[in-house]
Amino acid sequence: MRIGFLLNPIAGMGGRVGLKGTDGKVAEARARGADPRAPDRARRALDALAERAPDADLVAWGDPMGASEVRAAGFDPEVLGTPAGEETTSDDTGRAVAAFREAGVDLVLFVGGDGTAADVAEGLAGSDTPMLGVPAGVKVYSSVFAVSPEDAAYAAATFERTERREVMDIDEDDYREGEVNPELRAVAHVPVAEQLQSGKQIGGGTVESLAEGVAEDVRARPETTWVLGPGSTVGEVKERLGFEGSPIGVDVFRDGEVVELDATEAEILDALGEDNVIVVTPIGGQGFVFGRGNPQLSPAVIRECDVEVVASRDKLDDLRVLRVDTDDPDLDEALRGWEKVRVGRFERRMMKIV
């Protein structure tokens, strides 16, 4: 197995500091104190790959696009080139993928988000070489990603055939304004594996009674700090509480007032009290409760809060299970199990988090 490994080192940096993505926002993300997320995700995937396929032949692109992470996992990669400048760009991704194709790789394993996936798919256009993503971006709507870094390693080490899957992306400026309109960017060959996520689906059922039930609970507990996640379902809750929330951000509410609007991870932590509840809805079609679209809800935030998952019946009807991918494997394990998901004013449905 010959694998081309590629890391987008800035993927996901804008998430916890409230930027909803990193495209065109790298300097601002750093100014807000953002830490790189993707290298840690890369190391998790590569460590798992080293356990499952220690004899795999890896080729890589020069730092900061993956070579060091590959070596740290115990592989001796052939480094085929380096980024052109100090800041990596989509052109660097294109050059790397072209070199991987020329080197005859059996798979391109990349770490990033939907933008990285679109760049990799463009570089592989016209070939049968499969690609597989380790999710590290803020928005991960494409169905070419594994559920977690470890799942990506398992799929890379064990797949025997491929299938065609969609690469989706959205305009981040529109996304920051609350417009979520995924656009098909490519169709790529991807390993067939149960560990892959589904594509993002838009839609759902009515949530009015559900939202009113949550709002009643909020009003009845004025001393509680409520951390209200993104999405239209929780957005309906915010409307019932009398304020216009950030549709793709996280808002903090306590005692009838908005404490933080479109909060960053640090702002959420500063706003928490002794009794805290996160209200979050899974992503339609994928089932992620944490780890897709809400990185402000970091492990540090989650550990300080109780969690209430809310969703319309229609959304849950399309999901077999719920998922988490928080960047903290121990927390992921603690969150797994059966969860009572609120589907109405009083009704709840048991769903399993895996």
DSSP assignment of 88-135: --HHHHHHHHHHHHHTT-SEEEEEE-HHHHHHHHHHHTTS---EEEEE
Say if pTM beats, i.e. exceeds, 0.75: no
* Residue 202 confidence class, pLDDT cut points 50, 70, 90: very low
- pLDDT at residue 199 in the model: 57
> What is d(CA 211, CA 32) in angstroms, rounded to the nearest whole number?
33
Q: What are the pLDDT digits (tens) for 10-55? A: 887 755 655 555 555 556 656 676 567 899 999 999 999 999 999 9
- pLDDT at residue 121 in the model: 96
* Residue 193 confidence class, pLDDT cut points 50, 70, 90: confident
**Complete DSSP assignment for 213-258:** HHHHHHHH-TTSEEEE-SSHHHHHHHHHTTS---TTS-EEEETTEE
The answer to whether residues 223 and 273 touch, using CB atoms and an 8 Å cutoff, is yes
- pLDDT at residue 27 in the model: 64
- pLDDT at residue 209 in the model: 82
Q: Is the dihedral of CA 6, 184, 293, 152 positive or negative?
A: negative
Q: Give all strands of the β-sheet with 107-112 in edge-to-edge order.
A: 78-79, 57-60, 2-7, 107-112, 131-135
> How much is the average pLDDT of 296-318?
93
- pLDDT at residue 247 in the model: 85
**Range in 12-21, 32-41, 160-169, 208-217 the model is least confident about:** 12-21
- pLDDT at residue 180 in the model: 55
* Residue 100 confidence class, pLDDT cut points 50, 70, 90: very high
Comparison of pLDDT for 31 and 206, the residue scoring more:
31
Comparison of pLDDT for 322 and 206, the residue scoring more:
322
- pLDDT at residue 178 in the model: 57
User: Residue ranges of the domains in the chain?
Assistant: 2-191, 208-353
Q: Residue 342: which of 298, 306, 300 has the closest Cα?
A: 306
